[in-house]
Amino acid sequence: MVADQAATTATGRHDYGALMARAKEEAERLVDLSNRGARVLVVTHIDADGLSSGSVAFSALARKNLAVSVRAIPDLDPRAIEKLKADKFEFYLFTDLGSGLLGELSAALGDKFLVVDHHQVPEADLAHARLFNAWNYGYDGGEEACSSSMAYSFAKALDAKGNQDLSALSLVGASGDRQDKGDARSLGGLNKVAVEDAVTQGLVTTTKDLLFYGRETRPVHEAIAMSYSPFIAGLSGAKDAALAALSNSGFKLKEGGRWRTLSELSNEEKQKVIEVISGFIASAGHGADLLKDLVGTIYTFEFEDPLTPLRDAREFGSLLNACGRMDRTDLGISICLGDREDALRQALALMSEYRGKLNKAIQKLQLETDKVSTTGNVMMVMGEEFIEERMTGSVSSLLASSDRFRDKLVLVRAKSGDSDLKFSSRIGDSYPGKVNLGEVMREAAQSVGGVGGGHSMAAGAKIPFSKRDDFTKAVLEKVAAG
Ligand code: C5P
């Protein structure tokens, strides 16, 4: 059973003091180890929060002159742990992964590791000595604390003043993990501490506006077409259709021969944009929910070039995500560490390739309906033949944000190696029931000899291919039982 984590947060008892005291304790331990010559490896996950939290931890340790390296991996499993152990580092700092495998980590690494994380863990594991997890301090790790804001707390414990600039990366990780669930899609909880630090430092400004990709830099129709969250069928990924829809509505797209951007529009014109979009989602039934998601709090990094996606925390997160999903975590980490030349150029090219892949997968789904099955509120995509393992999270997130499936629990599966299946699951914002997906995936995977876990709204699992039907049955039963 997972600890009564919801109750902890419902009381509003965030224990920031205890969290920082623990961070300080662990920071001192690490510095002490390193003074005795220890080499440290930061091991992190490949998604946006993984790359930014790994970079925060790496930067903070490197600034203290520790002998530190950073590595991103798609999954931590017993095989991956053995590989890490074989590299013989004296200490391993895990960010954004590891909470589900504390027993295995202890068995392999003794006490020479620390897991800095925000994923849910079974009650029995919460007190594990090598776990530094947001849930232990009253923060809901699904929406109030990401790995990056946990790593930032650790960085502040190492050097409160010197590491305040790393607050900006916490906002990137939190946006990448879609933790913008506060009023007007703002960041709350521990993430808000990072926002406040970043604002105080003059690193970030906050405004409220339409949340499309490239709102300051792209023509309006391109910004709409390049936005995949929420996914709007007929517009997302369809530049020509967006252009046609806006032109047909009499929208003034150009000024003196130059394309206008969303940030230049008047309030009435922004309203018009929403009206045009609503024409594409009117038939879906959850249109009002989706339209609400189009407006919210924008976090702008004042020190970044306005012409790059790094200027906006969400866009920065999308770029990192693309790097991770396209197997170029090196580029993502380089960008987090400050490379604005070659790594950024390559990442921008990768981003278009990544979008192309996502588009192709979505088109395939629309054409080949036998690849999708729906049982009650659960829809499953059998992506073995056309979705790569690293892309399952992106496809499931996209589907769960779409008007068509935002009332569904989405499961996307793909082949993993020769004998395993990878599952990514997401709950759409308009899902009518109550399910703790992290718990469902962990227990269902365990029941067939696999590994699973995550958050209440987003979770994953890896299981033996031969057990796919037993696994699906276990998931459906657990979802039906609530
Ligand atoms: O892989 P995917 O993107 O679907 O994972 C969704 C969330 O579940 C991520 O936060 C991931 O770290 C987490 N997860 C986990 N344990 C697993 C698989 C995924 O905590 N075994």
What is the reported pLDDT for 161?
Answer: 95
For residue 116, how far is its CA from the centre of ligand 1 (angstroms)?
A: 15
Confidence at 403, pLDDT banded by 50, 70, 90: confident
Which among 44, 73, 97, 178 is the best mutation to test ligand 1's pocket, defined by most ligand atoms within 8 Å of the CB? Answer: 97
Asked whether the beta carbons of 45 and 96 are under 8 A apart, the reply is: yes
For residue 76, how far is its CA from the centre of ligand 1 (angstroms)?
A: 10
Which among 53, 119, 412, 425 is the best mutation to test ligand 1's pocket, defined by most ligand atoms within 8 Å of the CB? Answer: 119
Phi first, then psi, for residue 385 (nearest 5°) are -95, -10
Q: How many beta carbons lie within 10 A of that of residue 344, not counting itself?
A: 18
Confidence at 283, pLDDT banded by 50, 70, 90: low
- 262-280 pLDDT, tens digit per residue, is 989 999 999 999 999 998 8
Nearest CA to ligand 1 atom 6: 459
What is the reported pLDDT for 366?
Answer: 86
What is the reported pLDDT for 198?
Answer: 98
Mean pLDDT of 204-215: 94
For residue 86, how far is its CA from the centre of ligand 1 (angstroms)?
A: 24
Q: Would you tell me the crossing angle of helices 167-176 and 48-63 to the nearest 10 degrees?
A: 160
3-state secondary structure of 135: helix
**Could you give the C-alpha distances from 21 to 52, 57, 153, 306, in angstroms and in order?**
23, 17, 10, 38
- 288-319 pLDDT, tens digit per residue, is 788 888 999 999 999 999 999 999 999 999 99
Asked whether the beta carbons of 445 and 463 are under 8 A apart, the reply is: yes
Tell me 119's DSSP state.
S
User: Strand 39-45 vs strand 91-95: parallel, antiparallel, or unpaired?
Assistant: parallel
What is the reported pLDDT for 12?
Answer: 59
- Which residues have any ligand 1 atom within 6 Å of their CB? 45, 97, 100, 119, 392-393, 424, 451-455, 458-461
3-state secondary structure of 125: helix
- 404-431 pLDDT, tens digit per residue, is 898 999 999 999 999 999 999 999 988 9
Which among 2, 46, 47, 442 is the best mutation to test ligand 1's pocket, defined by most ligand atoms within 8 Å of the CB? Answer: 47
Average pLDDT, the chain: 93
Give Cα 152 to chain centroid, integer Å: 16
pTM of the entire predicted model: 0.94
Q: Which atom of ligand 1 is nearest to the CA of 99?
A: 20
- 119-134 pLDDT, tens digit per residue, is 999 989 999 999 999 9
What is the reported pLDDT for 158?
Answer: 97
Percent of the chain with pLDDT over 90: 87
Nearest CA to ligand 1 atom 4: 424
Residue 8 has pLDDT above 70, yes or no: no
Asked whether the beta carbons of 430 and 284 are under 8 A apart, the reply is: no
What is the reported pLDDT for 282?
Answer: 61
Residue 4 has pLDDT above 50, yes or no: no
For residue 421, how far is its CA from the centre of ligand 1 (angstroms)?
A: 14
What is the reported pLDDT for 216?
Answer: 87
Residue 284 has pLDDT above 80, yes or no: no
Which pair of tokens denotes residue 202? 């003059």
Percent of the chain with pLDDT over 70: 96
Confidence at 229, pLDDT banded by 50, 70, 90: confident
For the chain, domains (ranges, CATH) are: 2-174+186-198 (3.90.1640.30), 210-363 (no CATH), 369-481 (3.10.310.40)
Give the chain's end-to-end CA distance (angstroms, integer): 14
Give Cα 164 to chain centroid, integer Å: 22
Residues 246, 159: Cα–Cα separation, whole Å: 51
Residues 25, 33: Cα–Cα separation, whole Å: 12
3-state secondary structure of 428: coil
Residue 53 has pLDDT above 70, yes or no: yes
What is the reported pLDDT for 394?
Answer: 95
Among 293, 241, 319, which Cα is nearest to 400's?
293
Which pair of tokens denotes residue 36? 């005795």
Nearest CA to ligand 1 atom 11: 454
- 135-181 pLDDT, tens digit per residue, is 999 999 999 999 999 999 999 999 999 999 999 999 999 999 999 99
